Structure 1
Amino acid sequence: MGWGKRSVLSAAVTVVCAVTVLGVPGTAFAAPTPTPSPSTSPTPPPSKDLEKVREKLDKLYHDAAVATDAYNAAEEKAKQQSAEIVELAKKIDQGQQRLARLKDQAGATARAQYRTGGIPPTAQFLLSNDPGQVLDGAGLALQGQRAARSLISELTSTQTQLQGYADDAAAQWKKLDADRTAKAAAQKKVQQQIDAAKKLESQLEKKEQQELDQLEQQAALKAQTDWLDTGILKRIHGKASAQGEKAVAFATAQLGKPYVWGAEGPQSYDCSGLTSQAWAAAGHPIPRTSQEQWQQLKHIDVQDMRPGDLIIYFDDASHVALYIGDGAIIQAPRPGRTVTIAGAGSMPILGVVRPDA
């Protein structure tokens, strides 16, 4: 395996590759059909109607994945905006305290001027018995005037700054409200797609459900074998980084946990929830959604990928999985499934990104 020490996972991947998901170039997609006995007959191939059902289910779950990404993105934005509003509130509070102190100083200055009678310096010089003392006082008065002008300037600046903070907070509240609305709309769409898929599956008889599962497995096996037949694995020799090994180890520990849309652990995950948490556990936080991971992380050629890299799937970057080596991935596939090992080429690959490039 390309990511270092061969472990229990390596053996597990080998078994999975051989008998369930990964396949090898040129292999058939089903075990040889045994010679039927008089009391048994070969299982008939799935009907074309079931193939249409599979295609419809694929579309429903794909649309649910797209909506899930939109939900996760809106949630992340809402979290960020809430944090910014909290910071603005702290700045506003600090500014108000500063403004109160400046107003107290301005009031003290005004009271002092009132006590002196507010007589202009020239009049004080003419009426005084000690002109030298008046001149000394005039110097102090000039300093006082400068201090007063500085105080007024600081008051004005603080008031302007406070108004700016208040305007920013109001704008963030509007964005927060808009993203909450977007989040609710995405949540509704996710649930609609999943409910429609469950309803469609519930209409199938047990035998049809088994045949549908067989169709799904065959489609994944064919895609994986076609990918392997290109000879791609002969060109992939990357070794995992230390952080990549940690990300793979984290993802491996999540095997068997259920897919739940919008979840990021520790008991359940969606696809990007798993990959983002795996890299967070490796000490390298990455964006939350598969689309953001595709947009923001460094793109890598498929032949240069190494364990720990993320494979992005479908033209709209609606699915992501963690590459673990030997042509395999760990993924949280869709509702009704669990975190599992699958073939890296079992779905249409958009590209590969590297979190710790």
Structure 2
Amino acid sequence: MNRRRRAKAAIIVACALTVLASPALTLQASAAPLPPPAQPAAPTAPAAPAQPKKTLEEVRQEIEALYRQAAVATDAYNLAEEKAKEQSDEIVKLARMIVEGREKIDDLKARAGAAARAQYRNGGLPDGAQFVLTDDPQLFLDNAGRLKEGHKATKDLLGEMTRTQAELTTYAKDASINWTKLEANRVKQAKAKKEINDKIAAARKLESELAAEERARLLRLEQQAQYRAQTAWLDTGVLKGLSGKATPAGKRAVEFATQQIGKPYVWGAEGPGSYDCSGLTQTAWASAGHTIPRTSQEQWRLLPRVDIKDMRPGDLIVYFKDASHIGMYVGNGAIVHAPRPGRNVTIAGAGSMEILGVVRPE
């Protein structure tokens, strides 16, 4: 009987444990995190529309614009370089003047010291003062005159020392100002140099992306654009009545410029192996005995202007609204000029580019 009870009790306990275990399992299962719902795929961005390929004429205009921008930067570089040279020369000049002024101060101090020592030896009286105390009237008058002259000399000496010291202060201040300007122009040069190189590199990259046949066509397009502009210019009758006679100086300038034909354009160059546009015109006129400004913009700004109907060989034709290019008129509607990087000094139609005006170096 006891065995039956124990067996029955064991069965009841086992059943109870089974019942108790079942809800725990259910709760545990329900507490487990569910996997996240599948996210819808992100929509694919529409492909950017293909850029239409530039025409060769558009490429030509873009390359021309880049070289024009390089020309403007070249003018900025040349002007900064010219100013830097001027300031450097001025600093050297002021340094010499400071040295000379200091030497003069030292000499004046030595003279003043000698006068002071003489007074000390004479008991505080300047040389000759003791002779004024003579009983001889004539000798008194003579020595009084010498004493007066001595006083004037001492006063002049002190005045000269003061002026020289003031000059030294001014020289030092001017040297400091010029040094500041020199450094500023060096910064401008560096900035312009980077811009020039960047623009030329961009233009050359555009050209390099063209096939050989396209580059040949590009050159023809360039020549055709120049021909059309020159023809339209000549059709205005601009050459009627123009004098083909140059002055002796103008003739020498033209001869020099035309002798440079075939030499490469290099920005910032003034010869003898290469030139930029204003370097050629400046050097040509220097060979004729006339000094003119370094840049095309300064040549346009500072040289006398003449009407195109009065133009003669040797005159300079300035191009584009920003005066970024210049060439020398050689007669018969032509110029000699250094065109741009990648080109050589050559003869071209005077009207093949947009004319701003004409200046005369003489």
> CA offsets per residue over residues 82-113 of structure 1, 9 Å max, x none?
11122212211111111111000111111111
Aligned to 1:188: 194
Alignment TM-score, normalising by the size of structure 1? 0.81
Q: Deviations over 1:59-95 (max 9, x none)?
A: 1000000000011111111111111122212211111
Equivalent residue, structure 1, for 2:235: 229
Gaps of 5+ in 1: 1-46
Equivalent of residue 308 in structure 1, options 292, 311, 314? 314
Matched, 1:289 2:273: no
Aligned residues: 307
What's 1:353 paired with? Answer: 359
Contact 2:119 2:125 in 1 (8 A): no
Give distance in 2, aligned partners of 1:95 and 1:249.
Answer: 48
Q: In 2, Cα distance between the equivalents of 1:277 and 1:120?
A: 64
Between 1 and 2, higher relative CO (CA 8 Å, sep ≥ 6) is seen in 1
Alignment of 1:73-222 (within 5 A): 73-118=79-124, 131-132=135-136, 135=140, 140-222=146-228
Change (3 A) 1:103 1:124: closer
Aligned sequence identity (%): 60
User: Is contact 1:313–1:320 with CA below 8 Å preserved after alignment?
Assistant: yes
Counterparts of 1:326 and 1:139, CA distance in 2: 81
User: 2 CA distance for matches of 1:223 and 1:308?
Assistant: 22
CA displacement 1:187-232 (0-9 Å, x = unmatched): 1111111111111111111111111111111111111111111121
The answer (yes or no) to whether the contact 2:253–2:287 under 8 Å persists in 1 is: yes
Whose Rg is larger?
2
State yes or no: 1:70 paired with 2:76.
Answer: yes
Instruction: Say if 1:75 and 1:179, in contact at 8 Å, map to a contact too.
Output: yes
TM-score, length of structure 2 as denominator length = 0.80
CA distance in 2, matches of 1:207, 1:61: 22
Q: Distance in 2 between matches of 1:258 and 1:97?
A: 51
The Cα of 1:140 is off from its aligned counterpart by 4.4
Q: How does 1:27-42 map to 2 (within 5 A)?
A: none
Shift of 1:260: 0.1
* Aligned residue identity for 2:120: Y
TM-superposition CA deviations, 1:21-59 (whole Å, max 9, x none): xxxxxxxxxxxxxxxxxxxxxxxxxx9621111111011
CA–CA separation in structure 2 for the residues paired with 1:322 and 1:236 = 15
The amino acid of 1:239's aligned partner reads K
Structure 1 residue identity aligned to 2:199:
Q
C-alpha contact (below 8 Å) 1:61/1:197 kept by paired residues: yes
Residue identity matched to 2:103: Q
Listed one character per residue, the Cα deviations across residues 213-259 of structure 1 (whole Å, up to 9, x for unaligned) are 11111111111111111121223234111111111110111000000
1:132: Cα distance to partner?
4.3
- 1:151 maps to amino acid: L
1:243 aligns with 2:240: no
Superposition RMSD on alpha carbons, in Å?
2.2
Structure 2 portions without partners, runs of 5+ = 1-52
2:318 corresponds to 1:299: no
